[in-house]
Structure 1
Amino acid sequence: MNAQPTPAAENGTVETDVLVIGSGAGGLAAAVTAAYHGLRVVVVEKADVCGGATAWSGGWAWTPGNPLAKADGVDEDPELFRTYLRHRLGERYDGARIDAFLEAVPHMVGFFEEKTRLQFTPGAKIRDIYGKTPGAGTGHRSVGPAPLDARRLSPRVRKLLRGQLYETSFLGMGIMAGPDLAKILSASQGSLPGLAYSAWRVGRHLLDLAVHRRGMHLVNGTALVGRLLQSADDLGVEVRVSTPAVRLLTADAAAHGGEHDGGRDDGGRVAGAVVRGVRPDGSEVEYEIRAARGVVLAAGGFPNDVERRRELFPKTPTGREHWTLAPKETTGDGITLGESVGALFQTDVESAAAWCPVSLVPYTVGKAPAFGRNGVFPHIMDRAKPGSIGVRRDGKRFVNEANGYYDYVSGLIAATPEGDAVESWQIADSRFVRKYPLGMAKPLPVPLFPYVRNGYLVKGRTLEELAAKCGIDPAGLRETVERFNENARLGVDPEFERGETEFNRYGGDAKVGPNPSLAPIEKGPFYAVKVVPGSFGTFAGLAADGRARVLRADGSAIAGLFVAGNDQANIMGGFYPAGGINLGPALTFGYVAGRELAGAEVYEDSGTVPAGRDHVRSCGAGSVAGTA
């Protein structure tokens, strides 16, 4: 794997079969698939490391009908998946693309599981979010990357791999949802096995930091990217970091020395791109990468494009009232490149953002700011734990806090009057913060005072004192908490039905009854953390068909141009029906794009013929030896 951003040919032109722009799940899936089928592949990445937002994600992918579920004896009728999505997506249900996704998913999982270093673990207990909707699943519709010892990665892959998002780690140590997280949380409740396990994990992590200067036990999105990168390395994929794509080349422009200026060219086949690299002396250089088969756009959408956010996100008058969990390099480059050759930027979606509630972490040394930035923490699991609620400044709840992260932000936006700041407070008592995380603040035995001292947590001896410090109406908060407590003791939530679905209950605490998602908030001191709109990425994107081809406004495909990941318009129409609906389609349509570029007609894992294909021929360049 070449990790250099400089030209590989003396005339400044690189020749390859496939050029992939971006190195998240979608881009790497396309690269690995195309390379497996014998194509020469170059991946260019704008950042100096690989993985994009995928590396900072939980790593779980919604993959209904996957072979791991079938191996566990769960073989669902695909019509159940369609039923669920039809009910959740309504008029935004795109039957053709949903069918293409559902057909390819099991083969995608089978291909990576059997032929590459990407090994999965089944999400046997991960529920679809809306459990009362017909067709909703109660498990086995997701897969995540198996944990990975980074010592099994080549040195060049370790160098290229983006690290764990610090805010979702413990001192940089990744924690995987499921048994790993459950054991660590049990330590805060006095479990001796949990304490021993936590001490072992932390001790191993600190030793790795001392020896290797990074954690070596990889989980979640970091493990997913690490496994994909190592698979790409095994197959000879060339990766060029610090190399943004500047403009696309069409076949005519490439034939005439690259004079195409990046303007609209609806007739030309996309045949590569001009990229910007850095020479060893630090100077920049632009050069061409010509791709005989085509280009895949997978640059991560536009979560850091302030102007597009201002235009497309609600109640965002300047575009800066929003905090994304995506790396700073995700500024819409793939969208802009696609538009330059006539692609349709599809904004007709329920939400242009993949919402997630976040809090801002003020890093300090003592009382002085540190690192020159705030951290951004995603509130994923804490909202569902019993004994916590979310309120606006009027002191009133606005949503079922235990539902999906998308619902929390959507509910907050809807409840916020025009002109008001879109913000909320997550409220909990002293019992809660001893047992569960409250945002980035960890439970026992980790002390809370650093989070109070730097202003991340607000502490009040009474609810009224807490409200005054947060700017919340004290009478409104008192009334809300008293009503919530009365119902929580009975295990009901008449206002928002919290704890009435499998998804809610699984996210709660099974040891708490009668409702694992509800407990009263009554023992002072009380704590609060400000929660604001954030996102994992974006849902608006380039129009595409079920073959991952980029489309024009008239529905015709642009020859030689494919799209995957958040550069592609979300197949769920801007809804969030299940966890992992970013990564599942990203991996799947990256896989589809790689197969299309290779002309593959037989699935690698089973030999069955894809729907709509008239001719069958054997494809494949052999499997990758060994697994990490």
Structure 2
Amino acid sequence: MNDTLHPLHQRISTDLSQFKDHDTVDLVVIGSGGAGFSAALNAAIDGARVLLVERMAHVGGTTALSAATTWVPGTKRGLEVNPDDTPERVATFLNLAVGERSDAKLRQAFIDNGPHAVAKLEANSALQFQVRMLHPDYLSELEGSVLRGRAIEPQPFDGKLLGPNLPLVRNPIPEFTVLGGMMVDRDDIFHLLRLTETWKSFSYSVRIIVRHFLDKLLHPRSTRLVMGNAMIARMLYSYIQRQGILVTNTEATQLLQNGNAIQGVALQQTLPDGSVVKRTVRSKGGVVMASGGFNRHPTRRADMLPGAKEAWCPAGPGHTGKAQDLALLAGGQLGTGGLSNAFWAPVSTRQRADGSTAVFPHFVMDRGKPGMLTVDSQGQRYLNESTSYHLFGIAMQAHHATTPSVPSWLVCDAGALKRYGIGMVRPGGKGLAPFLADGYLKQGNTLTELAQQLNVPADKLKATVERFNAFADKGVDEDFQRGTTDYQRANGDATWHGPNPCLGALREGPFYAVALYPGDIGAATGLVTDGDARVLNAQGQAIEGLYACGNDMHSIMGGIYPAPGITIGPGVTFGYLAAKHAVARAHHIGS
């Protein structure tokens, strides 16, 4: 399929008025992130007439903004780099990581069906994956973990193939791009940072930079798509090829329910001129909820994420939970028992020139590198900075209950800032003036001066750094064991001259800091389902024709984040399972 791509010359209609009232389809999918697209595209591959409903103007949700790492153990590509992995080993790992926090039967359904979901999409669509030789499970200290093969990611995509449909794809977070909109992935960053060091990196960098500036001349946006943009673009491309139907700026206002069965949905679309189109659409197979979860719900957020401001959330803007409300009205239930209701990452924020707020997740590029440490309001360390971003966010909130640590401060010296950057500040140590001017970046020629900028006790900050420096020199973090697992060391600096790739002393002034907040990157609590992604009611019975996947579905990880891509991987898998069951249901009703 990947070798037969041809440009799409016609723009897909996104107008709800293309439907007559009470028109019938085989399946309705609410939400166009990775999970929703998986359900819609899998159903379309099976020959179903599918309506994909997106409440925003752009498709992609949080998936489009993400790296789109997809944790699916046992795929063909994954086993090529790690042939020793087995389903039993995956189950052992998840049982130890998650335990009783989620239903083991659902985890097994994921393990059993994930490889089939990926294989079907790769065989029948433009969605193609690649795998890295080093991409460890986060809880690499647990039995059953691996260093490679379970995390796959989409191959880059030429957005020009979408033709006039390219603007439908949600733009990436601007702060994750360079040169005014050029998307970069891990390979690009590697070569760009070594542009002047090797011919290979120079030629690679020149090639992507020249293409980017040609795009700026000829297209409304950069057309070399990577990571989440590539995943969504590839799925959109194939969905259009399969004659899938898409409406944007449209939300579900009611589920059509007959007893314990969902038979369709009422939709409302707001057009650019402000007029409103309303349609009722019947669905033989039912409705799949894949709207992204509750993170921006007006009341549920406050109940489930107390103290976490929505302004710290870097997830997609469409995750209002309104579609989830409809499922609850239909008898669905929210899951319980998870470690947390959300998945977390430390984030920093900055106001953009247009007045909007940039929310930057600190995943792996800075906080676990040599020459970096994190302190609370008292200038003291309280966590392992190299831990996973989810555990980092949880630790911030737990510590805040006793010592104010929201915000915390990510502190580095001049050498670390130059080598790695810090947050939105790029590596190289240049262009600091605007970040200093608006207060995003704090600077002090000495630690005492920096402490004054941060309003933390100078003596405690100096003592913290001195103690940390001694650990860095020895390569052993006696307080928090930083750099002791394979995952942590993989995210350190392999070229570092010290004994621990995660530890380096802070000695070179000036010293810098950025404020960190706990940002929710996705919902962990969602609708309870069975192994076919059918939503269950309070009695544990399936509501016929109602499905949930992605962050609308209660996470099979129980609020734990054991590995990279554990939201998108299950999302793709249960989207596949929902489509499979719903299409069979549509055929049964149709016959």
Shorter-chain-normalised TM-score: which range? over 0.9
Partner SS, residue 599 of structure 1: helix
Match of residue 380 from structure 1: 363
Whether 1:537 aligns to 2:522 is: yes
Which residue of the other structure, out of 371, 375, 379, is the alignment partner of 1:395?
Answer: 379
Whether 1:302 aligns to 2:294 is: yes
Contact 2:19 / 2:279 at 8 angstroms: preserved in 1? no
The Cα shift of 1:599 comes to 2.3
- Percent identity reads 37
The residue type equivalent to 1:72 in the other structure is V
Partner SS, residue 470 of structure 2: helix
Mapped to 2, the partners of 1:92 and 1:401 lie a distance apart of: 25
Residues 289-328 of structure 1 aligned to structure 2 (within 5 Å): 289-314=281-306, 316=307, 320=309, 323-328=312-317
Whether 1:215 aligns to 2:222 is: yes
Contact 1:62 / 1:579 at 8 angstroms: preserved in 2? yes
Q: Residues 419, 522 of structure 1: CA spacing in aligned structure 2 closer, same or farther, 3 A cutoff?
A: closer
Match of residue 341 from structure 1: 330
Can you list the C-alpha shifts for 1:123-166, whole angstroms capped at 9, x where unaligned?
3310011221111111111110000111122422x131111111
Whether 1:201 aligns to 2:208 is: yes
Mapped to 2, the partners of 1:469 and 1:194 lie a distance apart of: 39
Mapped to 2, the partners of 1:321 and 1:476 lie a distance apart of: 32
Match of residue 182 from structure 2: 173
Mapped to 1, the partners of 2:147 and 2:262 lie a distance apart of: 43
Match of residue 24 from structure 1: 33
Partner SS, residue 536 of structure 1: strand
Mapped to 2, the partners of 1:431 and 1:196 lie a distance apart of: 27
The residue type equivalent to 2:143 in the other structure is P
The residue type equivalent to 1:511 in the other structure is T
Give the RMSD, CA atoms, in angstroms: 2.0
Whether 1:587 aligns to 2:586 is: no
Match of residue 120 from structure 1: 129
Contact 1:358 / 1:376 at 8 angstroms: preserved in 2? yes
Contact 1:399 / 1:407 at 8 angstroms: preserved in 2? no
Larger mean CA deviation between 147-156 and 290-299 belongs to 147-156
Contact 2:52 / 2:246 at 8 angstroms: preserved in 1? yes
Can you list the C-alpha shifts for 1:323-374, whole angstroms capped at 9, x where unaligned?
11122221112210110100002243211111011100222xxxxxx21222
Match of residue 160 from structure 1: 168
The residue type equivalent to 1:361 in the other structure is R
Mapped to 2, the partners of 1:448 and 1:418 lie a distance apart of: 34
Can you list the C-alpha shifts for 1:80-134, whole angstroms capped at 9, x where unaligned?
1111111111321421001100001111111111111000011331001122111
Which portions of structure 1, spanning 4 or more consecutive aligned residues, are displaced by more than 3 angstroms?
189-200, 278-282, 418-421
Which residue of the other structure, out of 54, 67, 79, is the alignment partner of 1:45?
Answer: 54
Mapped to 2, the partners of 1:305 and 1:423 lie a distance apart of: 24
Match of residue 13 from structure 2: 3
Q: Residues 321, 269 of structure 1: CA spacing in aligned structure 2 closer, same or farther, 3 A cutoff?
A: closer
Can you list the C-alpha shifts for 1:169-225, whole angstroms capped at 9, x where unaligned?
223222112x322222334x9666545544443332222122102111100100000
Mapped to 2, the partners of 1:429 and 1:399 lie a distance apart of: 19
Unaligned stretches of 5+ in structure 1? Answer: 253-266, 364-369, 601-616, 618-628
Contact 1:300 / 1:334 at 8 angstroms: preserved in 2? no
Q: Residues 347, 323 of structure 1: CA spacing in aligned structure 2 closer, same or farther, 3 A cutoff?
A: farther
Contact 2:421 / 2:429 at 8 angstroms: preserved in 1? no
Contact 2:138 / 2:562 at 8 angstroms: preserved in 1? yes
Which residue of the other structure, out of 557, 565, 572, is the alignment partner of 2:557?
Answer: 572
Mapped to 2, the partners of 1:192 and 1:353 lie a distance apart of: 44
Whether 1:236 aligns to 2:243 is: yes
Whether 1:81 aligns to 2:90 is: yes
Larger mean CA deviation between 370-379 and 275-284 belongs to 275-284
Contact 1:5 / 1:278 at 8 angstroms: preserved in 2? no
Mapped to 2, the partners of 1:411 and 1:403 lie a distance apart of: 10
Q: Residues 306, 459 of structure 1: CA spacing in aligned structure 2 closer, same or farther, 3 A cutoff?
A: farther
The Cα shift of 1:242 comes to 0.5
Whether 1:511 aligns to 2:521 is: no
The residue type equivalent to 2:212 in the other structure is H
Mapped to 2, the partners of 1:590 and 1:132 lie a distance apart of: 30
The Cα shift of 1:67 comes to 1.1
The Cα shift of 1:419 comes to 8.8
Match of residue 428 from structure 1: 412
The Cα shift of 1:580 comes to 0.5
Which residue of the other structure, out of 163, 183, 201, is the alignment partner of 2:191?
Answer: 183
Can you list the C-alpha shifts for 1:384-414, whole angstroms capped at 9, x where unaligned?
2111011111111121111110011111111
Larger mean CA deviation between 1-10 and 404-413 belongs to 1-10
Q: Residues 479, 599 of structure 1: CA spacing in aligned structure 2 closer, same or farther, 3 A cutoff?
A: same
Can you list the C-alpha shifts for 1:480-515, whole angstroms capped at 9, x where unaligned?
111111110111111111111111111111111311
The Cα shift of 1:311 comes to 0.8
Match of residue 277 from structure 1: 269
Q: How many residues align structurally?
A: 574
Contact 2:476 / 2:500 at 8 angstroms: preserved in 1? yes
Match of residue 366 from structure 1: none
The Cα shift of 1:418 comes to 5.6
The Cα shift of 1:287 comes to 1.3
Mapped to 2, the partners of 1:594 and 1:552 lie a distance apart of: 20
The residue type equivalent to 2:262 in the other structure is V
Residues 486-565 of structure 1 aligned to structure 2 (within 5 Å): 486-512=470-496, 513-565=498-550
Can you list the C-alpha shifts for 1:277-323, whole angstroms capped at 9, x where unaligned?
13575311221111111100000001112421211124x1xx63651
